[in-house]
Amino acid sequence: METLTQLLTQKLSAAFEKCGYSPELGIVGGSDRPDLCRFQCNGAFSGAKLYHKAPRMIAAEVAETLKDDPQLSKIEAVGAGFINIDVSDEFLLGYVKQVLADKDLGIPQAKTKETIVLDYGGPNVAKPLHIGHMRPAVIGESLKRLTRATGRTAISDVHLGDWGMPIGLCIAELSERCGGDLSKVKISVELLNEIYPFASARKNTDEEFYDKARAITAAMQNGDERYQAIWRDIVAVSVEDIKKNYDRLNISFDYWYGESDSGKYIGELVDTLKKEGLLYESDGALVVDVTQEDDKITVPPVMIKKSDGSNIYATTDLATIIQRMREFDPTEIWYVADSRQSLHFTQVFRCAKKSGIAPQDVKLEYFGFGTMNGADGKPYKTRDGGVMKLEEFYNTVYEAALERVADSKYSSEDEKESIAHRIAVATIKFGDLINHRAKDYIFDLDKFMASDGKTGSFLLYTVARINSILRKTGEPGEFDAPEIYTEQERDLLHCIAASGEKIGMAYAEKAPNLVCENAYALSCAFSKFYHDNHILTETDENKKRAWTQLCAACKKMLEKHLDLLGIETVDLM
Ligand code: ARG
């Protein structure tokens, strides 16, 4: 369905046209002066240039045309040529009713068929899942949900790092420890957690060991069955652990492909690059030049094969593009990865376009994200300065949440645990997503878990409070409020009416933080409404029903927002 500003734009466009001006001047947006009106149109200023007429005159003519429109409670030409607009209560109520009946809750839907592959998460198998894996998964999951909410097809792929040096290092170390007979090794998460950091440190001081790990990596990639058998065990155990961690945070994937799955397309990749005359030798390696004339920074050639014939990160990313085009025929592919990988993606995208692996009309987008830091402004660490595991991080937040609900008189012990879990997830995710993804931020547990302010807790609390009201009043039935009784009620209705458009903007900018901001705005509008209108003690039955319905409407809209953020709500708190 259309947004409220689209409907008003149609109205104003028709009015401009009726007065002999271009309908394109009728664009309506939210007001810069909410104290004067809720919507405004500045088209008269552009009109003045086109028609050599004072903007004030154009604005006055257009406003005059609409002065008897029953859907508008205000249409006024003011100042140098602004048009201030308000909608009538009847129109607003009717619009909100439509939004609530709409299966998409008023979120603008894509007009064409679009399929987007989202590549996020990207954990590396064999390495323990650490705090650095939280952001790509949380942001990517929200972008996926946002994409689906706008009527597009989103296909998520975790793109495991399952094919590179970390595996070779682990196998090299394991093979020494078991005296060369890898079939004796029993892989477990604990073993991997111990072995990877050990082997990774060892490679820095033990050149012979490093060479061996390199040789093993190459042999594994080229199909050595002994190494592939242990590699399969490592992947299986790691993936199980990764799934457990992601599930806990409501993060899921349609595909659990890894870099290794692109292996069968590498031959085709190399052939295509050769055929296009793009591949050349440089110091024994095979590379593709991806510079462009207007480059402000040096973009080095992208390496496809190292001098020892092995593949690198860019090789598998390019081969994965072939795989994705074949399997999913997407209109766009998005990558959520660390900001430091910007150059890598520039190289890969250019090579993909230049070679035709990605057709010209397929959009390749990279969404870099910043770092989550501790109070010292450096990447979040354990108390003793070590790398914090994702599980450990969740547990810290969960323990704090459990303490918060410990003396809740409303819930049983079992419920307390599930409520604390949801508070923990909301705290982590909202705390992350409220920041624009590209920014670094400091994780401050007390601040992020506070029961008011821009926090997950505040939003869960709002929903719980509405639940408590609805338990007392009973479900109010479909929204059919006959009139608006108070200003706070009107504010909340406007907030609900504008939500779809706000979510549409969040999609357009790929910015889940805008969903967070709007969810917060809804919660604040609800708090004011609830504070000033005494729903439970109201004696006028019509008023009471209208207000209860508004509570239910607000809850529905808030839950939609939280769902887009991948946050589950609680019944009580
Ligand atoms: N595994 C990579 C890393 O740990 C992230 C993967 C991002 N996705 C991609 N297609 N390169 O940095």
Residue 409 has pLDDT above 80, yes or no: no
Q: How confident is the model at residue 77 (pLDDT cuts 50, 70, 90)?
A: very high
Model pLDDT, residue 359: 98
Model pLDDT, residue 414: 81
Terminal-residue alpha carbon distance, the chain: 35
- Looking at residue 79, the DSSP 8-state letter turns out to be T
* Neighbour-count burial for 39-56, b at 16+ CB within 10 Å, e otherwise: bbbbbbbbbbeebeeebb
The CA 334 to ligand 1 mean position distance, Å, reads 12
Q: Which fold has domain 115-123+133-160+253-372?
A: Rossmann fold (3.40.50)
The CA 133 to ligand 1 mean position distance, Å, reads 10
Which amino acid does the sequence have at 102? D
Residue 400 has pLDDT above 80, yes or no: yes
Which atom of ligand 1 lies at the shortest distance from residue 317's CA? 10
The CA 177 to ligand 1 mean position distance, Å, reads 30
Q: Establish whether residue 317 lines the binding site of ligand 1, counting it when its CB lies within 6 angstroms of any ligand atom.
A: yes
| pLDDT, tens digit (0-9, with 9 covering 90-100), for 271-317 | 999 999 999 999 999 999 999 999 999 999 999 998 888 888 999 99
Q: Are 363 and 333 in contact (CB under 8 A)?
A: yes
Q: How confident is the model at residue 382 (pLDDT cuts 50, 70, 90)?
A: confident
Phi, psi at residue 136, to the nearest 5°?
Answer: -60, -35
**Of 392, 369, 524, nearest in space to 458 by CA:** 524
CB atoms within 10 A of CB 347: 22
Model pLDDT, residue 40: 98
Q: Report the distance separating Cα 356 and Cα 271, nearest Å.
A: 12
Which residue spans of the chain are classified as CATH 3.40.50.620? 115-123+133-160+253-372
% of the chain with per-residue pLDDT over 70: 100
Model pLDDT, residue 21: 98
For 435, left (φ over 0), alpha (ψ -120 to 50), or beta? beta
Mean predicted confidence (pLDDT) in 225-236: 95
CA distances, 291 to each of 7, 298, 302 (Å) = 47, 8, 10
Question: The CATH number of 4-87 is which of 3.30.420.40, 3.30.413.10, 3.30.1360.70, 1.20.1440.230?
Answer: 3.30.1360.70
Q: Whose CA is closest to atom 3 on ligand 1?
A: 122
The CA 446 to ligand 1 mean position distance, Å, reads 31
Which residue spans of the chain are classified as CATH 1.10.730.10? 390-564
> To test ligand 1's pocket by mutation, which of 117, 118, 124, 316 has the most ligand atoms within 8 angstroms of CB?
124
Model pLDDT, residue 127: 85
| pLDDT, tens digit (0-9, with 9 covering 90-100), for 12-43 | 999 999 999 999 999 999 999 999 999 999 99
Average pLDDT, rounded, for the chain: 95
Q: Which fold has domain 390-564?
A: Isoleucyl-tRNA Synthetase; Domain 1 (1.10.730)
Mean predicted confidence (pLDDT) in 433-457: 95
Residue 407 has pLDDT above 90, yes or no: no
% of the chain with per-residue pLDDT over 90: 90
The CA 157 to ligand 1 mean position distance, Å, reads 11
Model pLDDT, residue 261: 95
| pLDDT, tens digit (0-9, with 9 covering 90-100), for 126-135 | 887 889 899 9
Residue 411 has pLDDT above 90, yes or no: no
| pLDDT, tens digit (0-9, with 9 covering 90-100), for 62-75 | 999 999 999 999 99
Structure token digits, residue 250: 């409501």
Model pLDDT, residue 84: 98
Q: Report the distance separating Cα 226 and Cα 73, nearest Å.
A: 77
